[in-house]
A and B are shown apart, each in its own frame.
Chain A
């Protein structure tokens, strides 16, 4: 157990040194900055509910983990995982799914696009 954790530290140290993965071609969002998206995720506190790889302390268990988000088929089990859908979802989840527990955080358009760009680097 401890050994595994120690290994994960080493792994995260290595990971921190490398560039994030490039998104799949169909997930490219023109003009969006994935790195800024990661900073937005940290600043907004998405980690309160989600595991977000690459964002320190983002280990929430309220919502689904966003691990491998770039390979997910659907967003929140409803929308095909396309950039336009993801940005729309991030801007106002209850508008798409009134039953969702995810609130409208109040992200701006640019923030949402950057966050989406970052999420697509998680593959």
Chain B
């Protein structure tokens, strides 16, 4: 018992630093709220841009904005709402709510969350800074080349977009890693797959969608930036490239993106709606299946943004069918919600108003979604205001309304106070009426022939009154949003104090007092139902009184419980890092590097990269080092290890998800090679045929196989022969990789393949750069492993860093071999 008393209290270890030092906090309850606040700030900025557009379109041939400002503003409006508002705010809610809902004290990699957040904020500010120099992006949020290329957009707008958003998307990818590992590994004992809340399923689905959808966008961004900065002609039809390649890559991301935004919002509805209906969600398993199905089908829809490109009829029919099929899982969710509401006579609290508004608007947006899935109809309405109306119904109705409901719902969870129910009626009324007044007329405007992205229109086309109505509606809606902000700011200080679990919810995030202290609940519960606060009262009372798991800091610091992914038995107590400046420093370094690239200036690029690398190295050095008892007692008389370097550990899973992200990027790059090959008349172009000697390709393949072997042996060597043997294996891998890298570089440089000459040469070079970069990453991880081996902090039982180095070598070698095979098969 005395050992127990020596341990610091949970409040001590989870307390956030005071003053400015709070910025070094990494805990999800802080970072999640920051995400939401920052994203809401960008929402307001994007909304102001929208109001400016509506002013300009209020009447025909107005001169409120000139064409340049308008084109910048509509581009930045779409960019802001998609990349800087919708995705990040849902990431924020996920970071905040999901661990709580799983009864975990934090996400698996808190510093990664913080790093992602800072990359997002700094990246967003970087993109917005383009307004300061009058060079905001103006080629539309889908940046089609050649318009976005250096010939037709010589100013820096496209560069701000491509580089700034690449920087921002680090946040989405880090959130994807967090949430995947968190949902799979950090559930409480008893929360089997069947008992995972819908919201957590939604986030898990979305995390996987991010893993497969975002990397192709990043690859596309990098290729287009390379075309702009280095003249590598990936999308230039005069030099073997194809602008349609961009469209495929962009929409392969862009369509799942819509569901990345919608699915968490639907999950929010599925979470809140049962609370107000006071009964479990009807058809929980169907809703979960529908969520996953939507995620899967969303990858088969991207071509429906390209029906007007003139693609073969058969492929369009297939995509049309898939686009209609995706309505079925949405229908399942809608009818599950209707069934849950049936006869429930819910009190019309603020969140419930927005839930009802959502149901109406989402269905209205859904039916027009089915319409645009029809190929011939889409030929007419594609790129018109009809489509603008459709996706605002789906995105505002389908995402912003659930978001507002969620703000009202979880506001007391964060602040301990309720927002005003009286003002909420006004907010809802203004937003709902204003929204419909704005966007319903846009359907008709589209049918009357008004294209989207036009800075003005002529009188006499029958468009005048509908546009005026839309403009009035936009200001009505803005008034509602303004009122919401006012009420939130006011209520945070003076709102009615909320009772514990004020809505009487059944999900775990309301465990413990409201507002929740940083530590979360007094101890972690066991669960045996989908709604533990309703159905597992005994366990919940026990946990709230400190009788559950981890009532004390058994490792002496922040920690949470990892369970077995299938049995959900407690498997490990995971020590979590406390406040650290390293994520912020790493983000600043990354941002400086991107800014340097943007201005094509080497010093800030190198200095920023060095700062980021240093911060990341210190961060990596500082992992897996806490000295702890081998098998501490965690409560309920159970003892679990505090350290694992097996493939069950969260660190290994994090590494694997990161690798999947990378693999998805590689698939996009390799896919680009294959696509250009398929659409080209001659591949390689006759002048470049046989530019790479077969001997060099074969030699590279042999060396890469050796690299993989040396890398994979390292963890085995550590286990069998100890640190020295592992160090030797890693050293050999580094040496071989250096040989491959140097040989490959020399071969390419001495070949006839000038990357500016033809898309073939450019894409071969891109594969080469990808391979070299990954050999470098593996070498850096190996260097870290070697240092830790030398310092004695990576010995037996702590060999995760060696395992991860092996993973990196295997991955670099495998993708390198695949690239060589592609080049050889493509006639290189």
**Contact at A56–B52, with CB atoms within 8 Å?**
no
Q: What residue in chain A is nearest B459 (Cβ atoms)? A: A56
Query: Is B58's beta carbon under 8 Å from chain A?
Result: yes
Q: Tell me whether A9 is interfacial, beta carbon within 8 Å.
A: yes
Closest to A58 in B: B61
Neighbouring A residues of B458 by C-beta, 8 Å: 57
Contact residues in B for A8 (Cβ distance below 8 Å)? 64
In this assembly, does B229 line the interface, its C-beta being within 8 Å of a C-beta of chain A? no
Q: Is the CB of B58 within 8 A of A5?
A: no
Report A57-110 residues with CB < 8 Å from chain B CB.
Answer: 57, 59
Q: Which residues of A contact B58 (CB under 8 A)?
A: 9, 13
B55 at the interface (CB under 8 A from A): yes
**Docked CA distance A31–B459 (Å):** 27
Inter-subunit contact B59/A57 (CB<8 Å): no
A6 and B64 contact, Cβ closer than 8 Å, known pairs A42-B459, A56-B459: yes
Mask: chain B, 43-63; 1 = CB below 8 Å from A; 0 = not: 000000000100100111111
Q: How many Å lie between the Cα of A5 and that of B70 in the bound state?
A: 14
Please give, as numbers and ranges, the residues of chain B lying within 8 Å of A12 by CB-CB distance.
Answer: 59, 62
Residues of B contacting A16 in the complex (Cβ-Cβ under 8 angstroms)? 59
Which residues between 26 and 85 of chain B lie within 8 Å of chain A, taking CB atoms? 52, 55, 58-65
Number of interface residues of A (CB under 8 A): 12
Size of the chain B interface, CB-CB below 8 angstroms: 13
What per-residue 1/0 map shows which CB atoms of B449-462 lie under 8 Å from chain A? 00000001011000
Contact present for A9 and B55 (CB under 8 Å) = yes
Complex Cα–Cα for A9 and B57 (A): 10
Instruction: Name which residue of chain B comes closest to A4, CB basis.
Output: B64
* Alpha-carbon gap, A37 to B427, bound state (A): 47
A16-B459 Cα distance, complex, nearest whole Å: 14
Do the beta carbons of B64 and A9 come within 8 Å of each other? Answer: yes
Q: Are B61 and A57 in contact (CB under 8 A)?
A: yes
Q: In residues 8-56 of chain A, which contact B (Cβ within 8 Å)?
A: 8-9, 12-13, 16, 42, 56
Across the interface, name the chain B residue whose C-beta is closest to A43: B460
**B63/A13 in contact, CB under 8 A:** no
Q: Are B64 and A56 in touch, CB under 8 angstroms?
A: no
A13–B459 CB distance below 8 A: no
- Complex Cα gap A56–B459 (Å): 8
**Inter-subunit contact A5/B459 (CB<8 Å):** no
Q: Which residues of A contact B64 (CB under 8 A)?
A: 2, 5-6, 8-9
Give the Cβ gap from B50 to chain A, nearest Cβ, in Å. 14
Cα separation A56 to B59 with both chains bound (whole Å): 9
The smallest beta-carbon distance between A39 and chain B, in angstroms, is: 10
| Residues of chain A within 8 A of B59, CB atoms compared | 9, 12-13, 16, 56
Q: A residues within 8 A CB of B456?
A: 57
Shortest distance between the CB of B653 and any CB in chain A (Å): 50
CA distance A87 to B329 in the complex (A): 70
Q: How far is the CB of A59 from chain B (nearest CB, A)?
A: 7
Q: What is the bound-complex CA distance between A119 and B267, given in angstroms? A: 62
* Bound CA–CA A57/B464 (angstroms): 14
Q: Is the CB of B60 within 8 A of A57?
A: yes
The residue in chain A whose Cβ has the minimal distance to the Cβ of B460 is A42
Instruction: Give Cα A114–Cα B458 distance, bound, in whole angstroms.
Output: 23
B55 & A56 in contact (Cβ 8 Å cutoff) = no
Alpha-carbon distance between A118 and B458 when the two chains are bound, in angstroms:
21
Determine how close the nearest CB of chain B comes to the CB of A118; give it in whole angstroms. Answer: 16
- Determine the distance from Cα of A12 to Cα of B65 in the docked complex, in whole angstroms: 15
Q: How many Å lie between the Cα of A2 and that of B70 in the bound state?
A: 12
Please measure, in the bound complex, the distance between the C-alpha atom of A56 and the C-alpha atom of B456, giving whole angstroms: 11
Q: Hey, which chain B residues are within 8 Å of A13, CB to CB? A: 58-59
CB contacts (< 8 Å) of B459 on chain A: these are: 42, 56-57
Closest to B65 in A: A5
Least CB distance from A45 to B in Å reads 12
Residue pair B55, A59 in contact (C-beta under 8 Å): no
A13 and B472 alpha carbons, distance in the complex (Å)? 12
> Using Cβ atoms and an 8 Å threshold, which residues of chain A touch B63?
5, 59
Q: Smallest Cβ distance from A120 to chain B, in angstroms?
A: 23
Task: Please name the residue on chain B nearest to A16 by beta carbon.
Answer: B59
Q: How far is the CB of B238 from chain A (nearest CB, A)?
A: 37
Residues of B within 8 A of A2 (CB): 52, 64
Shortest A54–chain B CB gap in Å is: 12
Instruction: Please measure, in the bound complex, the distance between the C-alpha atom of A59 and the C-alpha atom of B63, giving whole angstroms.
Output: 9
Indicate the member of B58, B60, B64, B459 with the most A CB atoms within 10 Å: B64
CB distance from A15 to the nearest CB of B (A): 11
Cα(A34)–Cα(B64), bound, Å: 27
A9 pairs with B52, CB closer than 8 A: no
Residue interface mask A108-122, B partner, CB < 8 A = 1: 000000000000000
**Distance, CA A15 to CA B12, complexed state (A):** 66
A45–B533 Cα distance when bound, in Å, is: 72
B469 to chain A, nearest CB (A): 13
CB of A41 to closest CB in B, whole Å: 12
Docked complex Cα distance between A9 and B64 (Å): 7
Shortest Cβ distance from A95 into chain B, in angstroms? 32
Nearest CB in chain B to that of A56: its residue: B61
Of B52, B61, B65, B459, which is in contact with the most chain A CB atoms at under 10 Å from its CB?
B61
CA distance A12 to B60 in the complex (A): 12
* Residues of chain B contacted by A5 (CB below 8 angstroms): 63-65
- The residue in chain A whose Cβ has the minimal distance to the Cβ of B60 is A56
Q: How far, in whole Å, are A12 and B61 apart by their CA atoms in the complex?
A: 12
Alpha-carbon separation in the docked complex, A9 to B51 (Å): 13
B70 to chain A, nearest CB (A): 12
Chain A residues, Cβ within 8 Å of B55: 6, 9
Distance, CA A8 to CA B458, complexed state (A): 19
Residue of B nearest to A59 (CB): B63
Smallest CB separation, A26 vs chain B (Å): 32
- Interface residues in B309-337 by Cβ distance below 8 A to A read none
**Interface residues of A, Cβ cutoff 8 Å to B:** 2, 5-6, 8-9, 12-13, 16, 42, 56-57, 59
Known: A5-B63, A42-B459, A57-B458. 7 other contacts (CB 8 A): A5-B65, A6-B64, A8-B64, A12-B59, A13-B59, A16-B59, A57-B60
Interface residues of B (CB under 8 A from A): 52, 55, 58-65, 456, 458-459
Of the A-B pairs whose beta carbons lie under 8 Å apart in the complex, a sample of 7, sorted by A's number, is A2-B52, A9-B58, A9-B59, A9-B64, A12-B59, A12-B62, A56-B61
Nearest first, the 3 closest Cβ-Cβ pairs linking A and B are A57-B61, A56-B61, A5-B64
